[in-house]
Chains A and B, each alone.
Chain A
Amino acid sequence: MGSLSAASVGSGGQISRSRANMRFNALLVAGSLLAVGGLVALGPVRFALGLTLDDAWQLALIHAELALAPLLFLPVVGGRGKALENLAAAAACASAGAATVLLFSFAVMGGVGLDTRALAGVAWLAVSGLLALGARFGPHWVLRVRVLVLCAFGLPALWHYLLLEYAGASGGHLAALSPNWALATHSISLWPLLLAGALAWSGALALPDRGRA
């Protein structure tokens, strides 16, 4: 108990800084995604990526939103009260991300922006829930969870390749864990991320504060 209090006091400045970050988290999301959108519009980048300024532009932005969510969400470390603030911040981040993606609707004929909102919503739910759960245990756990989420989102495609190459088996079912892969292969399944997000947020909100424990 004493050591925990000391840790809290010692990291007080860090916590207040992270709280300030959380306040401007939506600005970070919107600014980053707008920057990505502008970057993709640059000729050399566009040609290097093989993109055109039509539906592909918004799709690239959606991929960026899904991939950057684990990096852009900055939870406040602390007790239950902070978890509630994290929940509100996560909702604001998801909303800012959605608004930025929909801003690029001028380039598309179809409704890919709206169609992917459910996927982006559950991705934000899972990412923010897991990071908020980590934030209940301290800043180091936030970093660890961030790495774990990045691995969970990024590595299934690699595992699938390795399974195909060395075991002759398909790991296609792992697409449910990786929103980018699911979007690219049109095999979107919301349940695993929804379940992970719901469980993580339940844990983050239900765990007793460490001081009281």
Chain B
Amino acid sequence: MASIIEERPGGPGRGAYPAEKPTPRESSESLRARIPGWGADLDPADRPSFPREQPGIETGAHWTTPEDQPETYPRERSIEHAFLTPVFGTAQPPKGVSGVIRRYSYARHSEAKFAHWALLILADRVDSIESQFTSILQLRPDNPITETGILSEVRRHGLSSRYGRNRTDVKHLWLDPILIGGPYILAGWAVLRVVRGKRRRR
């Protein structure tokens, strides 16, 4: 693209930005000839989300308000809702300690509170630990080899996909084992300290 900025007599590096839009590097006619469909939606009226809000849009609904889905267990809900929504997901009801944390978070905090989300993230991590113990009791323990999909490193060219290919994520790859494994090592160290401390007291 030719620059629209012209040097002025005031000296090197001086200039002024003009009112005109920079000249396109390629004309509309050329783009239309080169790119299939160029400009097919040039008119905003052809764009399905214009205008953004379309009162009275056809949806297929044949009800004024939806029927209520039966509530088969006390369904947690955001306190920003006036009531339980007529339809809701029933996958994975809250359970265990993580479930207690989740129910407290929903009952106590609105979505505007950081504590709401922090408690839900905490519950997610507790759920993960609880589920690891449960899976051992059910004789189906987590298998880090198959569940992390790490074998695809071999089958899907892990080394050649990463190295010599200018990828920015490779630069901080070394951090991943520390950030993922670090909390487990720290937790193990803390448990060890507590156990040793109790033994000494005896």
Q: Is B a genuine binding partner of A? A: no
List residues of B whose CB falls within 8 A of some A CB. none
List residues of A whose CB falls within 8 A of some B CB. none
